[in-house]
Every structure is written in structure tokens, then in C-alpha cells.
Structure 1
């Protein structure tokens, strides 16, 4: 397959990433336990302009992995138009989560995890690295954030 499309500029990629974070609902969440066993699930998410917020039970594999290992990779989109976010998760019980975050999550999905079951918690994922590419022709220049700072 011949690629004739011009790659997006880094600034355009960043705008596209921020737009997707604001409007999309589902994100793939990849984590691993202490033994290295991987776990991949799709979860609803909320972007607050600085971090991605997830909600899941602390008793399931994803919740345990995020709480104990903290490292996580998030993925939006498909293999031909993907955003990858590597970050560290911090757990917030339903009593600890900022009220504005809980309200925004509930407004977006019509569901308040904190009212569902005591085992639900919120996880704030602070991005450390962000990559975005829309096809092989965008492999170069895909790194938009390193060490928690936008590079563009």
C-alpha cells in the first residue's frame, strides 16, 4: 500500500489528541500484576485537562494492578489512528475523589461509581508519555509528551 497522505504536524497531532480526550468515552487500559501477567480492559474515562480519570473496582485485576503497580498504558482508537498514553495511577476512594471529578464523571456517563458499590474507586492517571500516529507514515514525530511534559 502506497501512502501519499502528508503526516500531521506535531501541533496538529496534539490538538487532535486533546480533542479525542475531551470527546471519546472508552479507553483501553493495559496493566500488569507484580508477576508481570498482563491485563487489558476497556473502561469509561474522564479527561480533566491534566489527567485521565478511570473508575473500577479495587477488587478486580485492573483495580489491583493500578493500586499496587501504578504503571498503566492507555490506548484510544485503532491501529491506524492511535493515541498511546503511558502514565502512573493514583487511587482515590469514593470519599477521597475530588467532588468536581465525581460530578463531571456522573454528568458524562449518568453513573456515579461511588454510589454503586463500596469496592469502586477512582484512579487518576497522570500522563508521562503520549504518542499519536495515524498510519505508518506518522511513525516519525509520534512522541508528543516525554517525562510528563509536552515536547511540542
Structure 2
């Protein structure tokens, strides 16, 4: 039996919980190449997701070209989908505190790599959250970069 749909307030709370505590996400990009989907670790700072990948990767090339991504966090039947704009920061220019926080949260420090890396700060424009078909209606918890539910 499918549980009843969550309230908008509960969906927002569950979304923030997932963003604060999950570490991995599926990151979708597109550019001149074919669409690309890759798992990456992330750090949520309360406003943005911070990702990092090798500068030469298709993901980095697409993010640098388009400045947009779609990120999925969670399970198929408990997913948070984030569409956002991207700010790129070369790995050599990331501030120490941010680099340290990313490494501690993700268990990986791109600054230690011999290959060049970029960090990508994803600013959400749209966030959706749903578990079952009965939650498709009302799945938007953020639109135009603003939480729909206050608080």
C-alpha cells in the first residue's frame, strides 16, 4: 500500500535532510557532445551544491560551456531533483576552508590530484521532491530559486 502524499512542509524538510546528509548524486549535463550522466559526490552549504570533477572530463566541459545542470539525489522512489546554474572555480583557486569542507564531507580531495580539477557551485533554480506517483502533483518545493514553503 502506498502511503499518503507528504505535505509541502514535510517534503521541504525531507529535501533539506537529504541535501545535508547524502554525499552522492547523479549529475546530468549536455553540450556539443552527447548528454552525459555521472555520479559525483557533493557538499551542500545551505544554498548551493558543490561538486568537483577533472577539468578534462565531459562533465566539466559541458558545465563550463553551458553553466547548467540537473542533479538527482536519493533513490528512485525518494528522489530530489535539482536544476541549477553553475559557477566554475578552478581547483587551484578554491579557498582553503571550502576545499577542506568538501574533502571532509566527500572523502575525496581534488586538490591532491595531479590532474587539474574544477569545483562547480550549483545554485538551485528548481527543486522537486517525490516518492510515489501520488506525490507528482506538488513535487516542486523550489521555483525560480525560491522555496515555495517558507521557513
- TM-score tier by shorter-chain length is over 0.9
1:30-109 matches, cutoff 5 A: 30-34=28-32, 37-109=34-106
Alignment of 1:129 with 2:117, yes or no, is no
Find the counterpart in structure 2 of residue 141 from structure 1. 138
Tell me the C-alpha RMSD between the 2 structures: 1.3
Conserved 8 A contact 2:18-2:74: no
CA drift of 1:63 comes to 0.6
Q: How many residue pairs were aligned?
A: 149
> Helix, strand or coil for the counterpart of 1:11?
helix
Q: After the TM superposition, which of the residue ranges 86-95 and 40-49 deviates more from structure 2?
A: 86-95
Conserved 8 A contact 1:114-1:121: no
Alignment gaps of 5+ in structure 1: none
Alignment gaps of 5+ in structure 2: none
> What's the TM-score once normalised by structure 1's chain length?
0.92
> What's the TM-score once normalised by structure 2's chain length?
0.93
Find the counterpart in structure 2 of residue 18 from structure 1. 16
Distance, in Å, in 1 between the alignment partners of 2:77 and 2:18 is: 15
Which stretches of structure 1, 4 residues or longer, exceed 2 Å deviation after superposition? none
CA drift of 1:118 comes to 4.2
